[in-house]
Every structure is written in C-alpha cells, then in structure tokens.
Structure 1
Amino acid sequence: MSRRYTAHEKVRFVEQTMQPGMTVSAVAQMHGLSPSLLFG
C-alpha cells in the first residue's frame, strides 16, 4: 500500500533538500522515501 503525500508535504520535502548540509538521500531516508521519488 503506497502513501499519498499532499502537495504541501511534497514541497516541504524538496525545501528540506535545499537546506545547507542536507542531501536528497538524507531527506528521503528521514521520511522513509526512495531518493528517486525526490529527484522526480
């Protein structure tokens, strides 16, 4: 069963990747996501 994220949640995830020292992989791991979902 896949989780659906709201537009607000998606924006927040992407914003987190732009923080100093944060990587896409780190943000994905924090939220239990695949990094490829954030790259998309």
Structure 2
Amino acid sequence: MRAQKPVDDRLFTWTAGGLTTAILAFLLKKFMKYSGHGAVFMDGS
C-alpha cells in the first residue's frame, strides 16, 4: 500500500493542475469576450 501513495499523489497533482488550467482558460476566455472592445482598441494602437 505504501508504494501506491506516490502514484496517488502524482495523479492528484496532475488532476489539480489540469483543473486549475481549465478554470484559468475559461476565465481568460470570458474576460477576453467581456473586454473584447478594449482588446481591439489596444491592438489598434
């Protein structure tokens, strides 16, 4: 059972990292959509 623990920890770490990345991507996408005019203005200047 002890040999299994590092594998579980690694799986948990990858899962947490994936969830965090997905949430950040979702928030970034939502923010870009919300401030779309601001992004266009910044690109234009």
Q: TM-score, normalised by structure 1?
A: 0.35
Greater RCO (Cα-Cα under 8 Å, separation 6 or more): 1
Richer in helix (by share): 2
Q: TM-score, normalised by structure 2?
A: 0.32
Query: Greater CA radius of gyration, 1 or 2?
Result: 2
